Amino acid sequence: MAGRVIVITSGKGGVGKTTTSANIGSALAKNGHSVVLIDTDIGLRNLDLLLGLENRIVYTLVDVVEERCKLKQALVKDKKNPNLCLLAAAQTRDKSSVSAEQLKKITDKLKKDYDYILVDCPAGIEQGFQTAIAGASEAIVVTTPEMSAVRDADRIIGLLEAAEGIESYKLLINRVRPNMIKSNDMMSVEDVENILSCQKIGIIPEDTGIITSTNRGEPIINNEKSLAGKAYINVARRINGEEVPFLDIDQPKDLVGKLKKFLSNLKKQGKEQ
């Protein structure tokens, strides 16, 4: 079995790389694939918190690299889903502890036993980034509809194109607010796509539930009511090669908005006929 190694990166910090990694990983595992999440943000690890596995970590990526333990010993199984494993980063070290070649060795080993290896990349374009993309053949670039995040994503895409080994990259647009797009306060999804000239793999709406899910240590895909959770599940299905239509993220919450939307949909249908 040859697994796929996908790096999740963004350039700018705080756009949702770690949240995306945790949720896509959980969604893929929920669909029956075996998944390993690797946190390469050494010294500022967070992926374990999002999955609620903080208290289970004994060995880390650095321990594996420095051969204090076997690779299998360092993999922490998820509480709910046995298909999902986490290889956590060390909190007490820094990015120079792991080199690109060392991480490539680890991902090559994991490829044999698992369907998907998702690498959560640290922010920035320095050594940590170079290490994270070393073993990957695919990339997901996370960005938000803000000028700064888009500019950084552009830079990252340039670096990914130049890097050896990355065969394809897709865009994931996070924290989209339909209301602000309507009032022209935010770049639309199409704008971002045009600027970056890159194919998109998902649109995730802004969701306050993300904050609660982070604090509780439960991925939001387990919350069936959450729109962001559904969007992440769709992204996971698209990664797996399924054709899933993009979610309509413009879902008004109040009754008047719902009625308006219903009427406009009727109009559209009428025109089509």
Number of H helices, E strands in the chain: 12, 8
Helices of type H across 89-208: 100-111, 127-134, 147-162, 178-182, 189-196
DSSP one-letter code for 94: -
Which residue, 137 or 223, has its beta carbon nearer to another protein? 223
Contact (Cβ atoms closer than 8 angstroms) between residue 9 and residue 132? yes
Q: Does 264 bind another protein (CB under 8 A)?
A: no
Q: Which of 4, 13, 31, 49 binds another protein (CB under 8 A)?
A: 49
Q: Which of 13, 43, 165, 252 binds another protein (CB under 8 A)?
A: 43
Which residues, 195 to 254, sit near another protein by CB under 8 A? 215-217
Minimum Å distance from CB 168 to another protein?
Answer: 32
Three-state DSSP class for 118? strand
Q: What tokens appear for 225 in the block? A: 């009511």
Q: Does 92 bind another protein (CB under 8 A)?
A: yes
Q: Does 91 bind another protein (CB under 8 A)?
A: yes
Minimum Å distance from CB 177 to another protein?
Answer: 28
For 115, list phi and psi in degrees, rounded to 5: -75, -45
Q: Does 112 bind another protein (CB under 8 A)?
A: no
Which residues, 168 to 197, sit near another protein by CB under 8 A? none
Strand 138-143 and strand 168-176: the pairing is parallel
Amino acid at site 172? L
Q: Does 70 bind another protein (CB under 8 A)?
A: yes
Q: Which residues bind another protein (CB under 8 A)?
A: 43, 49, 52-59, 70, 72-73, 75-77, 79, 91-92, 215-217
